[in-house]
Structure 1
Amino acid sequence: MKYISTRAASGASAERKSFCEILLEGLAPDGGLYLPESYPRVDDAMLAKWRDVYNKQGYAALAFEVLSLYIDDIPAVDLKAICAKTYTEAVFGTREIVPLKKLQDGLLLEALSNGPTLAFKDMAMQLLGNLFEYELARRGEELNILGATSGDTGSAAEYAMRGKKGVRVFMTSPYGRMSPFQQAQMFSLMDENIHNIAVDGVFDDCQDMVKAVSNDLDFKRKYKIGTVNSINWARLMAQVVYYFAGYFQATQANTEKVSFTVPSGNFGNVCAGHVARMMGLPIDRLVVATNENDVLDEFFRTGVYRVRGSADTHETSSPSMDISKASNFERFVFDLLGRDGARVKALFGDALGKEGRFDLSADPAFMQAATRYGFVSGKSTHTDRLGTIKNTFEKFGVMIDTHTADAVKVAREYLKPGMTMIVLETALPIKFAATIVEALGREPDRPAKFLGIEDLPKRVTRMAADADAIKAYIAQHCA
């Protein structure tokens, strides 16, 4: 299995890399994102085998089966051990790891928030931490991870990397824009290898800083900069597994199809569904649910991808989706345009940089987003999510967080008879307690280990949205 950049020239001249090379690299040198040269196909016999593996051996065994198709430069015995170490009942609380919960006929919730930081990001980040530690030890090297978070990626990364040998984490986040619980999860960590930087701006400013550093190849090489954001293929690859696990729980036979609704800001979570569908998982529709920052909904409705500036990015009650530049969207557009790297480079490298938008509405390929790839979308507002949280709790006795509420609201718009819809849960409600109180008039339940977390001492550095400033900070702390 070899990997290429979304901006690579097609044909024999495209640079092909192994999994462990791109694991530690993040962005490609040309500014693109890595994808497999081709998606491995899962036929009916393999799907039946995987169903049996999941039912009898559990999630870790299924993860090994899926990841083995993408990783051929880690010995199978080692990869199996990494999966077994990552996906345990002790870490995720249940044998299924991602159990399904019925909300109503035809509408199921897939629980992805049973990990250490109570958010779906743990599903991939716990694996990534173990992969990093394994590969760095094998090479005798160190890695400085630079990331950006709108809320959940940061804590998931830091909890996965804290205390790991050979790894430092430099995590940027928008100052004052995360919930108090999210801030406390990150800023209360005192591990020496964890550095939190609160940036004056929005998430997109943080993401731009990460990309600017990643595109400075000399700095990147000198300080061995890697990434845990969803631009890292390993994270997205790990997320593919729970689409298969959800499907096996929701169906009895491989002749059945299901749809998935995914709350989406940076497009990584739903892009994993796209990959699963390309592999052959019987997915009917992939429903993209956005909040008031509806860049992705606008694209799937109109064909126009139009990023917003800092002043036009709304601060909402589902803050992890307050994103107007969806990094992983480039991976899907690469497939949508027939894997034309030169054209993708022109769109994402040139048009977005100069004009902040591109328009595919007149391109015949745009129609394939829905017809060939199954994508549809919808939008949810603060009023919508309050109503959905209230309705879901009163009718079904299930408390959901704000992002999951956005997905449930949009999922209901696409329900159809005979087709099961699975909503991917994002986080536990406690992470967004203020909105839960507004909707329900009561505090959400809080796991015992997080009692009083907001009152713990905090260690965080405030910084302007300046790539040179973060470079200086990294250099200072790697001296």
Structure 2
Amino acid sequence: MKLYNLKDNSQIVDFKTAVRTGLGRNQGLFFPKKIPQLTNIEQILKLSPHQRYFEILKNFVSENMDDSTLKMVIDKTFRFPAKLEKVSTQNYCLELFHGPTLAFKDFGANFMANCLQEFASEQPITILTATSGDTGAAVAHAFHGLKDIRVVVLFPKGKISELQQKMFTTLGDNIHTVAVEGDFDDCQQLVKQSFDDASFVEQIGLNSANSINISRLLAQVCYYFDAFTQLPEDKRNSVVVSVPSGNFGNLCAGIIAKTLGLPIKRFIASTNLNDTVPRYLQSGEWSPNETIATISNAMDVSRPNNWPRIEYLMQSDQFDRKDLTGTAVSEEDTRDSLRSLYQSGYISEPHAAVAFKALADSLVDDEIGIFLGTAHPAKFKSTVEETLEIALPLPEALESCATKEDLSVQLQANFEQLKSHILGLSV
């Protein structure tokens, strides 16, 4: 399958090139012109998980991976489950936090790392990524210790939880972390500026592990199918999926799954106070505001990078705009949603609580709701404990890094400073 630069359709690449390049000319995203429609969805849902992932992913990567290689990559990547947990008679949470860094980003980051290893060349690679919380840990752990790969993670200083931060700023070795004076959008802009400097890109072998990298996105498609396989068959006809949304890669993956043929009825783009997309869906005007810091910090994004992919699927009539609504959830409602889930016997965290609130406000009697649990509650220990008035134990993955030294450096949101810093790092 060929992938097109959405900003420059003359740039057409294969999957391997897209994974190694990350971002196209003029900061364009790589994306298929046409998502294939699978005709055997019922049979695919009956397969074992790894067989199912193979049937999905081969449609996108077969030009660069033979069957045996793809199966090996799948076996190395999907070593942890996506679990569908029943919260009420009508609502389920798709728990995506059972991987090594307790967040949904583990799926995409590990798939990208394993793909890059298969596509390795003699030139060292520098992975530059921005994180609003969970991407940093997932990418850092997926690439930690890999030969000839240097990772630089940018994060907004003081705007992610301490435990989120410790999961990637304490690793060292080939993992370098930078606390940027600014917000996530500033970090994201530094990544884009880096890709605009052609000589810098060439000099360091620049790549990105944000969800702008198509490999990250494709891995996430698979767990939407997992959700359906865990639903009783009589509840699969009117499924509404509420996706806590920041950079909109997760929602884009879900829409790809629906375009492939997974019978999702509709989606809800659930955001916090950073409501660029809900306002756009209502008014048709794209007008980002300044980013607001919230307790669901991984969604503190005003200029989501992945939105052009979703817009393309709508404009090309592959996805019907009426099947997507947007809801912004206040801080007070987020906490109330956390309490409501707890009263139902389910401990959650702010991002999933946003998605649950949007789902609760939208669901009608004949629909089944699935909201995505994107991170383990303990990653937001202080917020969850304060809101629910409980003591939350730390899982081992968090406890082991909580007391380690933070190795990050601090920089202004200035490209020249960042460039100088990266050039001074060892591979």
TM-score by length of 2: 0.96
Q: Which residue is equivalent to 1:320?
A: 298
Per-residue deviation, residues 338-369 of structure 1 (Å, max 9, x unmatched): 39xxxxxxxxxxxxxxxxxxxxxxxxx9xx86
Which of residues 426, 430, 433 is equivalent to 2:374? 426
* Aligned counterparts of 1:449 and 1:80: Cα–Cα separation in 2: 28
Which of residues 143, 147, 151 is equivalent to 2:133? 151
Q: Which residue is equivalent to 1:360?
A: none
* Aligned counterparts of 1:468 and 1:443: Cα–Cα separation in 2: 45
CA contact (8 A) 1:254 1:282 kept: no
* Aligned counterparts of 1:98 and 1:181: Cα–Cα separation in 2: 22
Deviation at 1:218, TM superposition (A): 2.1
One-letter code aligned to 1:62: R
SS in 1 for 2:240: strand
* Aligned counterparts of 2:110 and 2:152: Cα–Cα separation in 1: 17
Does residue 62 (structure 1) correspond to residue 49 (structure 2)? The answer is no
CA contact (8 A) 1:158 1:169 kept: yes
Does residue 15 (structure 1) correspond to residue 15 (structure 2)? The answer is no
* Aligned counterparts of 2:278 and 2:305: Cα–Cα separation in 1: 15
Does residue 47 (structure 1) correspond to residue 29 (structure 2)? The answer is no
| 1:66-465 → structure 2 map (5 Å cutoff) | 66-72=56-62, 73-88=64-79, 92=80, 97-136=81-120, 139-190=121-172, 192-252=173-233, 256-308=237-289, 312-338=290-316, 370-371=321-322, 374-395=323-344, 397-451=345-399, 453-465=401-413
SS in 2 for 1:323: coil
Q: How many residues are treated as equivalent by the alignment?
A: 426
Deviation at 1:301, TM superposition (A): 1.7
* Aligned counterparts of 1:140 and 1:253: Cα–Cα separation in 2: 52
Q: Which residue is equivalent to 1:354?
A: none
Deviation at 1:253, TM superposition (A): 6.9
SS in 2 for 1:470: helix
Deviation at 1:141, TM superposition (A): 3.3
Residues 283 and 117 (structure 1 numbering): CA distance in 2 closer, same or farther, change over 3 Å? Answer: same
Deviation at 1:385, TM superposition (A): 1.4
* Aligned counterparts of 2:354 and 2:77: Cα–Cα separation in 1: 29
* Aligned counterparts of 1:471 and 1:76: Cα–Cα separation in 2: 40
One-letter code aligned to 1:63: Y
Give every structure 1 segment of 4 or more consecutive aligned residues whose post-TM-superposition deviation is greater than 6 Å: none
TM-score by length of 1: 0.86
Percent identity between matched residues is: 31
CA contact (8 A) 2:44 2:52 kept: yes
Deviation at 1:391, TM superposition (A): 1.4
Deviation at 1:251, TM superposition (A): 4.3
SS in 2 for 1:331: helix
Deviation at 1:248, TM superposition (A): 2.1
| Structure 2: runs of 5+ lacking an equivalent | none
Residues 141 and 35 (structure 1 numbering): CA distance in 2 closer, same or farther, change over 3 Å? Answer: same
* Aligned counterparts of 1:452 and 1:127: Cα–Cα separation in 2: 24
SS in 2 for 1:240: helix
* Aligned counterparts of 1:250 and 1:280: Cα–Cα separation in 2: 17
One-letter code aligned to 2:342: F
Alignment RMSD, CA only?
1.8
CA contact (8 A) 2:385 2:391 kept: yes
Per-residue deviation, residues 254-305 of structure 1 (Å, max 9, x unmatched): 9724121000011110011111111121111110100011111111121111
Deviation at 1:451, TM superposition (A): 2.0
